[in-house]
Amino acid sequence: MLLGIALLAAMDASAKWMVLDNIHPLQLLAVRSVVIVIVLIVGYSIRNNLSELRPTRPWIQALRGTSGIIAPLSFFLSLKYLPLTDAVVVFFTSVFAITIISAYFLGERVGWHRWSAVILGYFGVAIAMAPTGSGAIAGYALVLVSSISYAGLFTSGRWLSETESVSSLVFSYNAGVGLIACCLLPFLWTSMNATEWVLLMLLSGFAVAGHFAITYAFSLAEASAIAPFEYTAIIWALLFDYYIWGSIPPLTTCAGAALIISSGLYVLHRENKNRQAGR
């Protein structure tokens, strides 16, 4: 799990570097998604299990995949305006968005403990944002859009998992994102130098390896036991910000992060407790 999170953090750092070089995020998403799709097809073909990637509800999967481009696109766009640490911290509000969506659309019962944690978590975002300029506000808004979109993806994936395999969900999502991104590439493509091509290949490699590592981790242990390790992404973001861009987060970001992380961990704790009580 720790390795997977580190690899995805390296992917985000690579994306920030390229976005600051004025490479459009859709360019990154197109290549990343195509690489993931190819790896999945080749991998499952070797195992003679290609049917595992076939969706049982293709139209719903297609809608989820094409609309799902909003989450990574808005996150990568935010990296042009925000330090990596700020973007990662605010993205973790997806835990709260998942709670809200689960309550209102899946009919999940959410008690006052979790609602209080959700409110405190978003209050942490307000603290992290103040004081900021207009560019940073745009960045925070993009990350919040990304976290909400990701929450929708996560919740719909949980709903679809009743009939779809995890492999099918990952394949269909990346195929949808890749299709949309590739269709828009002729209007957005920016020529890249050798360094940027290397970074793009590394970004794709980090994405593939990171997702496989995390998937493997969840196959070995209960989600409640390893999910908190996702917050180590903030440590990696801090290191990348400091050593690559010389950025140190202000006290407001640290205070907001503390509220967001503690509230998020409490939400996970309550979910796990309720799940155990329901057994």
Pick 3 or 229 by higher pLDDT: 3
According to the model, what pLDDT value does residue 225 have? 67
Answer whether 38's CB lies under 8 Å from 209's CB.
no
Q: Average pLDDT, stretch 52-60? A: 85
Residues 215 and 103: their CA atoms lie apart, in Å, by 26
Contacts 24+ apart (CB under 8 A), 126-134: 126/256, 127/252, 127/255, 127/256, 127/259, 128/86, 128/89, 128/90, 128/252, 128/253, 128/255, 128/256, 128/257, 128/260, 129/252, 129/256, 130/252, 131/252
Pick 228 or 91 by higher pLDDT: 91
| pLDDT tops 60 at residue 110 | yes
Q: Average pLDDT, stretch 131-160? A: 84
Q: Average pLDDT, stretch 38-45? A: 92
Q: Average pLDDT, stretch 96-105? A: 85
| pLDDT tops 80 at residue 122 | yes
At 131, the pLDDT band (50, 70, 90 cuts) reads low
Task: State what percent of residues in the chain have pLDDT above 90.
Answer: 40
User: What's the whole-model pTM score?
Assistant: 0.89
Answer whether 25's CB lies under 8 Å from 80's CB.
no
According to the model, what pLDDT value does residue 278 have? 58
Q: Dmax over Cα atoms in the chain, in whole Å? A: 56
Kindly report the number of other CB atoms within 10 A of residue 230's CB atom: 18
According to the model, what pLDDT value does residue 163 have? 84
Pick 161 or 70 by higher pLDDT: 70
Residue range(s) defining the domain that contains residue 171: 2-277
The per-residue pLDDT of the chain, averaged, comes to: 87
Q: Average pLDDT, stretch 177-182? A: 92
According to the model, what pLDDT value does residue 237 have? 94
pLDDT in tens, 193-243: 998 999 999 999 998 888 888 877 766 766 666 777 888 999 999 999 999
Least confident of 9-18, 24-33, 249-258: 249-258
Residues 41 and 47: their CA atoms lie apart, in Å, by 10
Count how many domains the chain has: 1
